Amino acid sequence: MTTSIVVQDVSKTFRYQAHPTLKKVLQDRLRGEHAKGSFKALDGVSFEVQQGESIGLMGLNGSGKSTLLKLVSGVMRPDEGQVLVRGRISGLIATGAGFHNELSGRDNIYMNAAMLGMTKEETDAKFDDIAAFADVGRFMDTPVGNYSSGMFARLGFSVAVHVDCDIFIADEVLAVGDRPFKRKCLKRMKEIRESGITMFYVSHSAASVKKMCDRAIVLDKGTVGFDGDVEEAIKFLHYDGDDDEPDAEDEDERDEELANDI
Amino acid sequence: MSTTSPVSPDPGSVEVRHDLAHVPLAPPSRTSGILEVFRRRYLLRLMVRREIRARYAGTAFGLAWSYINPFTRFLTFYFVFGLLLGRGNGMQNFAIHLFAGMVLVNYFTESVTSGTRSLLSNRGVIGKMAMPREMFPVASMLVSLWHAIPQLIILVVACVVTGWVGDGPLWVPDAVGMAASLLGFVLIMVYGTAFGLMFSCVNVIFRDFQRIVQTFINIVPFTVPMMYPYYLIADGERIPRQYHDIYVANPVAEAVMLIQRGFWQPTCDGPCVVKPGTPPTVQPDFVGDLYSRGLIMLVIGIVLLGVGQFVFSRLEKSVPERL
């Protein structure tokens, strides 16, 4: 078994105010409180992922999930510690990243694929699959600025899932898109997972994590709160429905149903 | 490792296909700087094409704007400096002298200003996709180069027409002149990229920077010998000699003289610049050691590019979180 991702004692600090004015800086200096402006989004996070594992990354809002994904995907660099990966990474930190509103869907597919590291030949070969999956029909040559948000998201997802990658990252992919598309996404992600690609899946939906992942990491205020079995992770998070509001339960039920579809 | 699912390595699996056991573990964000940009030429090409297309998207005249803008600017400068202020006095083909300089000055100012903004204006991508971020200032520089081409075409046409219609010799490009012009372009490319790299990430951290750059960029057209002949600076009558040395240390001024050597000088009939007076005196067209200066500046420029890369790789770590 090959190690796919190593995260070693990683910390990342952010500032509350990224661009303080000169006046603000001077005021803080005079009051001697310039250290107060920052917080640790991740604090000493360590874990290892083996090739082919499927990890569910869970945690409340603001627990550092997106920051961790950005570190693993290479968008950001850790302040302390190190992140090491093996092979090509694809996925969605957010849908439709890097789309240019004035360009057509077709041009954006090529652009986005190139950003994810695909060559022209690879994209040419997969173009029909990508187009079919995105299912935007005649809008392929329309500027994506005129797309509906669903179409926009479908196109972005479609490119990401067709990259021949070794690690696939998915951040809240199911937040957009209608039900048939969600089902298609989950099916596709299952295929990705079964082909031996390491998967990093972020979701608040306990049901889909249960379905998709064989291990869960729960982040709690920037630290690893729990790492291991999915069921226990859900219990750890109290996502198992004890104190859920009715609305959330509906959502969970629907997700459950969805997860059963695939 | 608490739970690791036993995935059997069947022949179709990624592990076997990509032979992952032999791929070293590496930081996902590791790049080899500006060299990585040229390794991913395909992405660079797409990005440049995207910028070019997006630039005039939705306009009726499209690419024609690339001709209209420099042409009107040329007419303005020609009218004010050539006709009203008489700066072209004693000089042959002042219009070509002016426009040859403008091609490079526009190229330089455009690459520096768009390079400075390049990271900020692509923030949507930078926060979400991992790729060599040197790509953005380099792409801005290439887009600006693309926009210099229409101006170069206007310049060539102007030179040919001047030779045809005017009293002077036909404009025949000579090897030395063309090499000089090429060196001028390369100088602007190197310095434009170096400044673009440095300024783009400084601008993310300190957003006032693009306004500071803009202020200085507005001065650039006046610091090069295009609206006035070189001898006004060199003859020591208006400004002390030691300032002349500073003046010619400007790589843009050097590049402008190099391109004028290629396009303007061959259009002259006899001495290009004669200072009016009694008696009229022939004045030097350019700084004395034009070519050796150009080559030295190229070396300095390449060093500066290295410095730019160093600054960029130091600062870009904090770029995504500051966007």
CA distances from B220 to A10, B45, B299 (A): 46, 29, 22
Average pLDDT over residues B162-179: 86
pLDDT the model gives residue B108: 96
Supply A216's token pair: 């869960």
Average pLDDT over residues A230-248: 69
Phi, psi of A54 (to 5 degrees): -125, 110
Cβ atoms < 10 Å from Cβ of B166: 14
ipTM surpassing 0.95? no
In this structure, the dihedral spanned by the alpha carbons of residues A177, A181, A183 and A185, taken in order and rounded to 10 degrees, is -90
Residues of chain A with Cβ-Cβ distance to B211 below 8 Å are none
pLDDT reading at B9 higher than 50: no
Which has the closest alpha carbon to B198: B89, B307, B40, B60?
A: B307
pLDDT the model gives residue B7: 45
pLDDT reading at B95 higher than 90: no
pTM greater than 0.90: no
B33 in Cβ contact with B313 (< 8 Å): yes
Between CA A134 and CA A136, with CA A135 as vertex, the angle to 5 degrees is 95
Residues of chain B with Cβ-Cβ distance to A227 below 8 Å are 2
CB within 8 Å of chain B, chain A residues 135-154: none
Residues of chain A with Cβ-Cβ distance to B54 below 8 Å are 100, 102-103
Q: What whole-number distance in Å separates Cα of residue A156 and Cα of residue A172? A: 13
pLDDT reading at B1 higher than 50: no
Average pLDDT over residues A134-138: 85
- DSSP string covering A231-260: HHHHHHTT-SSSS--HHHHHHHHHHHHHHH
pLDDT the model gives residue B8: 45
User: Count of CB contacts below 8 A, A vs B?
Assistant: 141
Looking at chain A, which residue has its C-alpha nearest residue B46? A111
Q: What whole-number distance in Å separates Cα of residue A228 and Cα of residue A53? A: 12
Element (DSSP H or E) covering residue B216: helix B209-217
Q: What whole-number distance in Å separates Cα of residue A115 and Cα of residue A209? A: 28
Confidence band, pLDDT 50/70/90 cuts, at residue B200: very high
Residues of chain A with Cβ-Cβ distance to B13 below 8 Å are 52, 195-196
pLDDT reading at A256 higher than 70: no
Q: Measure in Å the smallest separation between the Cα of B34 and chain A Cα atoms.
A: 16
pLDDT the model gives residue A174: 63
CA distances from B87 to A64, A169, B95, B259 (A): 64, 63, 11, 19
What strand order describes the sheet that includes A38-50?
A: A38-50, A3-15, A80-85
Looking at chain B, which residue has its C-alpha nearest residue A48? B1
pLDDT the model gives residue A205: 80
Better pLDDT: A252 or A85: A85
Q: What whole-number distance in Å separates Cα of residue A196 and Cα of residue B13? A: 5
Q: Measure in Å the smallest separation between the Cα of B133 and chain A Cα atoms.
A: 10
Confidence band, pLDDT 50/70/90 cuts, at residue B136: very high
pLDDT, tens digit, 9 for 90 and up, residues A58-95: 888 888 888 888 888 888 888 889 899 888 888 877 66
Give me the residue label for tokens 């090499």: B179
The least confident of A74-83, B70-79, B147-156, B189-198 is: B70-79
- DSSP string covering B271-322: -SBEE-SSS-EE--SS-TTHHHHHHHHHHHHHHHHHHHHHHHHHHGGGHHHH
Each as own residue / partner, the long-range contacts of residues B216-223 (CB below 8 Å, 24 or more positions apart, any chain) are B217/B109, B217/B112, B217/B113, B220/B105, B220/B108, B220/B109, B220/B252, B221/B102, B221/B105, B221/B109, B223/B247, B223/B250, B223/B252, B223/B253
Which has the closest alpha carbon to B244: B255, B254, B236?
A: B236
Q: Do A50 and B14 touch (CB under 8 A)?
A: no
Which has the closest alpha carbon to B131: A144, A11, A93?
A: A93
pLDDT, tens digit, 9 for 90 and up, residues B273-292: 888 877 888 888 888 899 99
pLDDT reading at B252 higher than 50: yes
Q: What whole-number distance in Å separates Cα of residue B52 and Cα of residue B140? A: 10
Residue in A53, A119, A228 nearest the CB of B42 = A119
Instruction: Collect all residues with Cβ–Cβ distance below 8 Å to B43 and sequence separation of at least 6.
Output: A114, A115, B131, B135
- Segments of chain A assigned E as strands: 3-15, 38-50, 54-59, 80-85, 89-92, 167-171, 198-202, 215-220, 223-228
Phi, psi of A102 (to 5 degrees): -85, -15
Q: Measure in Å the smallest separation between the Cα of B49 and chain A Cα atoms.
A: 10
B187 in Cβ contact with B251 (< 8 Å): yes
DSSP B83: I
Residue in A6, A53, A93 nearest the CB of B25 = A6
pLDDT the model gives residue B4: 42
DSSP A63: S
Supply A101's token pair: 């509103």
Confidence band, pLDDT 50/70/90 cuts, at residue A253: low
Average pLDDT over residues B121-129: 83
Which has the closest alpha carbon to B213: B205, B203, B221, B223?
A: B203
**HSE toward the beta carbon, residue B7, CA cutoff 13 A:** 26
Q: What whole-number distance in Å separates Cα of residue B260 and Cα of residue B181? A: 7
Q: What whole-number distance in Å separates Cα of residue B200 and Cα of residue B117? A: 6
Q: Do A85 and B26 touch (CB under 8 A)?
A: yes
pLDDT reading at B11 higher than 60: no
Average pLDDT over residues A176-199: 83
Supply A3's token pair: 């190690």
Give me the residue label for tokens 């989950």: A186
pLDDT reading at A258 higher than 70: no
Instruction: Collect all residues with Cβ–Cβ distance below 8 Å to B307 and sequence separation of at least 6.
Output: B194, B198
Q: Measure in Å the smallest separation between the Cα of B119 and chain A Cα atoms.
A: 13
3-state secondary structure A185-214: HHHHHHHHHHCCCEEEEECCCHHHHHHHCC
Cβ atoms < 10 Å from Cβ of B240: 8
Confidence band, pLDDT 50/70/90 cuts, at residue A246: very low
Instruction: Collect all residues with Cβ–Cβ distance below 8 Å to A45 and sequence separation of at least 6.
Output: A7, A9, A10, A11, A64, A68, A81, A219, A222, A223, A224
